Amino acid sequence: MSAKLEIGYAVRVFKEGGQYVAHAMPLDVMSSGPTPEAARKVLDEAVHLFLATVEEMGTLEDVLEECGYQHVPRA
Predicted confidence at residue 75, as pLDDT, reads 66
State the virtual CA torsion across 62, 64, 68, 72 in degrees, nearest 10. Answer: -110
Mean pLDDT of 14-33: 96
The number of C-alpha atoms within 13 Å of 56 and in the hemisphere containing its C-beta is 6
The residue ranking higher by pLDDT, 58 or 5, is 58
Q: Is the pLDDT score of 1 beyond 50?
A: no
The number of C-alpha atoms within 13 Å of 19 and in the hemisphere containing its C-beta is 10
Q: Is the pLDDT score of 32 beyond 80?
A: yes
Q: How far is CA 25 from CA 2, 13, 67, 68, 73, in A?
A: 23, 11, 9, 10, 22
Average pLDDT taken over every residue of the chain: 91
Q: What is the CATH number of the domain that holds 51?
A: 3.30.160
* Residue 57 included in any domain: yes
Domain that holds residue 34: 10-66
* Residue 53 included in any domain: yes
Tally of domains in the chain = 1
Predicted confidence at residue 72, as pLDDT, reads 75
